[in-house]
Amino acid sequence: MKTLISREEIQKRIESLGKELTEYYKDKDLTVVCLLNGAMIFASDIMRAIELPLQYDTFAASSYVNTSSTGELKIRSNLKLPIENRHVLLIDDILDTGFTMKCIIEEFTRKGALSVKSCVLLNKKIKDKLFSAPDWVGFEIEDEFVVGYGLDYNEEYRNLPFIGVLDQE
């Protein structure tokens, strides 16, 4: 296992993201939404770095392309709080194609949120981005498979306190 981003680098970046988010949301009713399962660790850190009153909720879904090739969400666990008239900040571990994020933003906008923005720990540089504009990014990374800090390979490695690249077996 090769360390790509150390625990210390992650913590430092989260502090500065927290400052930016605190400034941006200071006069807004904020709901932070953690996209399960991968964002759980990042969300708990980033939430504590935002020095504002806020509401917290979780959402779990996967996306697929339906027959008319628009995005559709398969929701595993829905929000518990209403988001009408609230500013929603979606927290995810990694943006790969961005397809899931795009579908979730559309869904939450339909539900009546005043704004829906996204903050991801990692943004992968790939050619076929479907949604390429996360509002806040922790780190830009190359197109390689990473684990740790919430990210899994076959549901393992989520508990690593750093971001690592798996050795090719």
Could you give the residue numbers annotated as active site?
96
Give the shortest CB-19-to-ligand IMP separation in angstroms: 25
Question: Angle, to 10 degrees, between the axis of helix 40-48 and the axis of helix 7-24?
Answer: 60
Nearer to ligand IMP (CB atom), residue 113 or residue 151: 151
Select the binding partner of residue 50 from ligand IMP, Mg ion, none (C-beta < 5 to 8 A, by kind).
Answer: none
Q: How far apart are CA 97 and CA 130, in angstroms?
A: 6
Give the shortest CB-40-to-Mg ion separation in angstroms: 10
Q: How far apart are CA 59 and CA 57, in angstroms?
A: 7
Residues making contact with ligand IMP (CB under 6 A): 38, 63, 92-100, 145-147, 151
Q: Which residue is nearest to Mg ion (CB)?
A: 38
Q: Looking only at residues 12 through 51 of this chain, which bind Mg ion when binding is defined by CB under 5 A?
A: 38
Helix, strand, coil percentages in the chain from 3-state DSSP, rounded to 5: 25, 35, 40
- Compute the C-alpha angle 140/99/38, nearest 5°: 65
Place of tokens 């929603």: 88
Nearer to ligand IMP (CB atom), residue 85 or residue 154: 154
Rule CB under 5 A: say whether 134 interacts with Mg ion: no
- Compute the C-alpha angle 24/26/32, nearest 5°: 75
Rule CB under 5 A: say whether 150 interacts with Mg ion: no
The residues that touch Mg ion, with contacts defined as CB under 5 A, are 38
